[in-house]
Amino acid sequence: MTRPDAPSGLNGRKKYNPDPAFAMSLSHVRGNPIDDAARWIAQARKTIVLTGAGVSTESGIPDFRSSEGLWARYDPQEYATLAAFLREPAKVWGMLAELEELLEAKPNAGHSALARLEAGGGVAGIVTQNVDGLHQAAGSRTVVEFHGHNRTFTCLGCGRQFTRAAVRAMTLVPGTRMPRPEPCPAGTPRRCMLKPDVVFFDEQIPPEALLGSEALLGGADLVLVVGTSCEVYPAADLPRQVRGQGGRIVEINLEPAAELAPDLLLQGRFGEVMPAVVDAWERLKA
């Protein structure tokens, strides 16, 4: 059995593997990686966070790329591109309706811990690849949503934006799961075609997201990489950019990202590791 403070992994980086035998005494282990991460946050001039699907799986939202995720049932090229949506919106809404059901999830303990860390001045903000809004629901204030969000929908016919609640109250087009206002508010000949304000595979990252991430990146000397394999660009470049300006990378993941090479790896569940790090940080600040 490996002690949680034992160095392991490539290049001797410290690696944290949760072990029930040590769970009760984890915070008292001298030099353990949880305390290291907390100390690095306390010492950093500016800490930012990059999150991915792994932070939401504990809230009941499967990773889209997993064997239980959406892409196991829906080919992204047929259901998750703007071209596919424009071609067959009713077909794509079959998938979007299922996505909407998944996004009823609630924040988990890890989300709440990150919000606590931000409120206490420990992080400047979060860049997330998720569209579920769980960071904001947990209380995080500075959140850059790289791939959009599910809180609003835009009509591709008239350009009008609708809240999620308004869309849910709409009548469905007969024989489909696609909602549509009647008539189109702008009175265009083209019928309203509502698309969630998420970024499809063939769409560009929103300019405001790029600007927001650049603003957070400026001066950052520590990045927490949480729940992401860092395979989707341009978000995957963020940790490397922090390192390029002299900063360090702390990774919190169930499975380490193959190409990340963090300075500190905490391997475990987001809902367990993140609160432990924040608890340790709060003790340092007390």
What confidence tens digit (pLDDT) does each residue in 221-231 have? 999 999 998 88
Q: Is the pLDDT of residue 100 over 50?
A: yes
Q: Long-range contacts of range 89-95, CB-CB < 8 Å, 24 or more positions apart?
A: 89/178, 89/193, 89/195, 90/173, 90/175, 90/176, 90/177, 90/178, 93/176, 93/177, 93/178, 93/179, 94/176, 94/177, 95/70
**Based on the domain organization, do 183 and 280 belong to the same domain?**
no
**Based on the domain organization, do 159 and 193 belong to the same domain?**
yes
d(CA 153, CA 160): 8
**Based on the domain organization, do 84 and 50 belong to the same domain?**
no
**Based on the domain organization, do 168 and 241 belong to the same domain?**
no
**Based on the domain organization, do 170 and 239 belong to the same domain?**
no
Low-confidence winner among 29-33, 56-60, 78-82, 213-217 (lowest mean pLDDT): 29-33
Q: What is the band of 31 on the pLDDT scale with cuts at 50, 70, 90?
A: low
Residues 41-58 have a mean pLDDT of: 95
Give domain status of residue 229, yes or no. Answer: yes
**Based on the domain organization, do 50 and 82 belong to the same domain?**
no
Catalytic residue among 28, 111, 135, 147: 147
Strand 248-253 relative to strand 194-198, pairing: unpaired
Burial of 27: CB neighbours in 10 Å, binned 0-12, 13-18, 19+: middle
Residues 202-208 have a mean pLDDT of: 91
pLDDT of residue 286: 84
Q: What is the band of 26 on the pLDDT scale with cuts at 50, 70, 90?
A: very low
Query: C-alpha distances in angstroms, 234 versus 5, 160, 238?
Result: 33, 29, 8
Give domain status of residue 2, yes or no. Answer: no
Give domain status of residue 116, yes or no. Answer: yes
Is 265 strand, coil or helix? strand
Q: Is the pLDDT of residue 127 over 50?
A: yes
**Based on the domain organization, do 176 and 271 belong to the same domain?**
no
Range of the domain at 72: 64-102+150-198
pLDDT of residue 213: 96
CATH number for the domain that contains residue 178? 3.30.1600.10
Residues 79-92 have a mean pLDDT of: 90
**Based on the domain organization, do 186 and 271 belong to the same domain?**
no
Our count of domains for the chain comes to: 2
The question of whether 147 is a catalytic residue gets the answer yes
pLDDT of residue 232: 81
Give domain status of residue 4, yes or no. Answer: no
pLDDT of residue 193: 83
**Based on the domain organization, do 16 and 46 belong to the same domain?**
yes
Residues 165-186 have a mean pLDDT of: 82
The percentage of residues in the chain with a pLDDT greater than 70, rounded to a whole number, is 83
Q: Is the pLDDT of residue 244 over 50?
A: yes
Low-confidence winner among 26-35, 70-79, 266-275 (lowest mean pLDDT): 26-35
Burial of 260: CB neighbours in 10 Å, binned 0-12, 13-18, 19+: buried
